[in-house]
Structure 1
Amino acid sequence: MLVDSHCHLDFPDFADERDAIVARAREAGVGRMVTISTRVRQFSRIREIAEAHDEVYCSVGTHPHNAAEELDVTADELVRLATHPKVVAIGEAGLDYHYDYAPREAQAKGFRTHIAAARETGLPLIIHARAADEDVAAILVEETEKGPFPFVLHCFSSGKRLAEIGVELGGYVSFSGILTFRNSQNIRDIAAAVPHDRLLVETDAPYLAPIPHRGKRNEPAFVTHTASVLADTIGVNNETVTKLTTDNFFRLFSKMPKPDQVALEA
């Protein structure tokens, strides 16, 4: 079983065929999907999608692009919302200096609020980092000194040093379809250096469809292509990388029930 650790099933791109997309993922061997929150004030929409599909779970949080809109979101509110049985992560939160859609001070404030919620709940923080390596690393180091918290650097496209610092602090690194792009040898080199027990795969659907679907709308079923390239990158076969990334996923997303647990509960 593969896991898509990061997708956005609530986005309008999927509105007309969400059930079919989940079914295609299931047929492709993707047994779990985490649909990621970008606005706490729209969390009910995310929650309803997760409740409607056995394979789908969710996070709760505010994307850095929307940080200025939701400065009133507190760690306590995130903790409260995270008690829902389908919520298995906090975020996505972090820093994005590529677009700078929100003031950097607002992004940093939101990032630290989400870290506090991850620390209190023990749920992994989904970190968005783009063109902000130094500041993301500095906040991670500073906040870890206050107390550790689980996290993943999602859709990794940053520099080698941020990956190294993330791993040193106990974090995981997740690779998307970017890993498959012909001009992404630097990302493959970084992936090859990440310890095998810290690797995850994702789609970030509907964005960043992997080769051979590049340029099309991405969907969770396509995570199989990213996993195959990751297998080649780290020198293992597809079966090994499937087991490896799935085991890593359940270790980090510890609230997520494993398939055998769901069967027993049923």
Structure 2
Amino acid sequence: MITHKNHEVKYSNKKSHEMLVDSHCHLNFPELKNNLDDYIQQMKANKISYALVISTRHDNIDEVVDIANQYDNLFASVGIHPDEKIDDFVLTEDFLLENASKNKVIAIGETGLDYYWNKDADMSWYHNQLDIHISVAKKTSKPLVVHTRES
């Protein structure tokens, strides 16, 4: 027992339940998605209880959500990485809101600013993308997964 400012604090030397969470993985990437069962077993062996599978493109959101739905300990995010500018796709709040409501989606992103590869680009597009993600995160009360490099 410890006494601090006339308050007794009881503690135990017993370890509490420890939990590790991989808060950012891309299990949908080609080099990983064909070995999902192996990765889940590796997570268990390393005492990683949960993982968040991060979407990076508008056209891989369904794949990320499908992977999360295959395993009890996986969850998904929905968003578009700042390095994934696609000229024929326009991100809207409605698009993100619709996808944010899918089963096991618990976060918005990956989004952010990356000036490393985009030094000469028109930054208004990137700022607009970030604003949309922030707005959807607020509206859904879900955490925002942020990528930032040289910004």
TM category (shorter chain) comes to 0.7 to 0.9
Residues 1:108 and 2:124 are matched in the alignment: no
Identity of aligned residues (%): 36
Which shows bigger deviation, 71-80 or 115-124?
A: 71-80
Residue equivalent to 1:126: 145
Greater share of helix? 1
SS at match of 1:109: helix
CA RMSD of aligned residues (A): 1.7
Residues 1:76 and 2:83 are matched in the alignment: no
Residues 1:18 and 2:47 are matched in the alignment: no
Q: How does 1:50-89 map to 2 (within 5 A)?
A: 50-69=68-87, 72-89=90-107
Residue equivalent to 1:98: 116
Distance 1:53 1:70, change over 3 A: farther
After superposing on structure 2, the runs of 4+ consecutive aligned residues of structure 1 that deviate more than 6 Å are none
The question of whether the paired residues in 1 share the 8 Å contact of 2:69 and 2:103 is answered with no
The question of whether the paired residues in 1 share the 8 Å contact of 2:65 and 2:103 is answered with no
Residue equivalent to 1:180: none
Aligned partner of 2:91: which letter? V
Greater share of strand? 2
Unaligned runs of 5+ in 2: 1-18
CA distance in 1, matches of 2:68, 2:87: 24
Aligned partner of 1:80: which letter? E
Deviations 1:205-247 (A, max 9, x none): xxxxxxxxxxxxxxxxxxxxxxxxxxxxxxxxxxxxxxxxxxx
The question of whether the paired residues in 2 share the 8 Å contact of 1:61 and 1:78 is answered with yes
Give aligned pairs, total: 132
2:58 to 13, 29, 40: 40
Answer with 1 or 2: which has the greater Rg.
2
